[in-house]
Amino acid sequence: MKFSKTNLDGVVIVEPKVFGDHRGWFMETYNETNFIEAGINVKFVQDNHSFSATKGTLRGLHYQLNPKAQTKLVRCTKGAIYDVAVDIRKGSSTFGKWFGLELTEDNKKQLLITEGFAHGFMTLTEEVEVQYKVDEFYAPDCDRGIIWNDPEIAIEWPMDVTPILSAKDEKAPLLKDAENNFIYGE
């Protein structure tokens, strides 16, 4: 596995080795030893799988408050997405900054997003499947979000369309108004 740092400390691109032949291919999507050797010590407790039928579907930007904050390992297993992480750690030198990466079934890249970041993605194709591991169970009382088009964050989404949102995501607040208990450096 190859681990590449991004402009945000706590967001890492993970590229599995893919072994292929005339029958197809095989890859390890997670190997605890490789992660620990890369300085990432996380115990995943839940796997999630989402399906989006329509191109332009946007899910996020979501996060969970402490003590149920989540680290995620995200991959696209069918189609393509633009995956985004936003630093919401108050006091961080990159607070409010974002990182985006295209994850596709073909490039097989994954994005590791540690706690203290809001996460979301936009589908770039029809019929998209996304799988992700988390290190903390879903906690409805800690579930929060930030509006996808917050002008202070200014995410450069790759499609010039009005995204398809859930009712919950349509009502998400701006980052400056969002409930947040992530203090950088604690």
Catalytic site residues? Answer: 62, 132
| DSSP for 139-176, written as a single string | -GGGEEE--TT-TTT----SS-SPPB--HHHHTPPPGG
DSSP conformation letters of 37-80: HTT------EEEEEEE-STTBEEEEEEE-TTS---EEEEEEESE
How many helices (H) and strands (E) the chain has is answered by 2, 13
